[in-house]
Structure 1
């Protein structure tokens, strides 16, 4: 799994609506070796083994949203789609089966395709709870305070020694 992993780093600044983060979003392309049987369970267990839990199995919402009390990992176990990060003027990225996307607290994300165009396991470091924020003016500065208190994860969600813990310092 660790042979020549492509890690894309995407830094998103506060755009006035979404806080985003000084930590980069990390996209690990094709890193998951998805089995034919029980692919979602495979991804869920991999994340749990690395202390990322409180998982869910669904698609990605078709509207901009972010979490202010935790970071999030998305493991794509089927399908493909285009996501937009950071708000309506943010970059668009293509994700597909086998990819892992690590999203820092505060970073907006939205599915530009159909919500269920991908099968995703989402999880949070140490099983933290998550909140939902939508870029409304009333959310801030409360969400900014929440984001500043979110601890850095001690582990990468798939166990890479040169992954999240290398790039988020």
Structure 2
């Protein structure tokens, strides 16, 4: 079995074909045939993406029924209150139903974080905060929708861990076998 850990850059599709969109895809970064992403990471999100050639392992990682934890660093607009964090921890009501409870905490701005190109917008009048959020599902744009639902839209989103694997010191676009 092959298992690849990739630090997916911002602005890259989590697939090998662009379907005519002209957007960068995984083929730019992964030269190995026969591996496929175990789950997705949005075009405008960054961080850990796991690829494998084993269908059962792919399902174990991606299928919400396995409740594999996925941890994100989210730079959000404003400063979340304890009530907002508690709402994330209990589960958030979204249009497609209530989310499972999440782990959520405010953290210091990450050190040694790679710059994003393009950088997020900066506004003097609106502070931003970093939170660490761990979920056990993976709905479409779930973390972004959760933070927006508690009044703190996500400015930058980086997945740093899936289950036992983490992005470690991989730079954007770098990958390694697990």
**TM-score strictly above 0.5:** no
User: Over alpha carbons, which structure has the higher Rg?
Assistant: 2
TM-score, structure 2 as length reference = 0.24
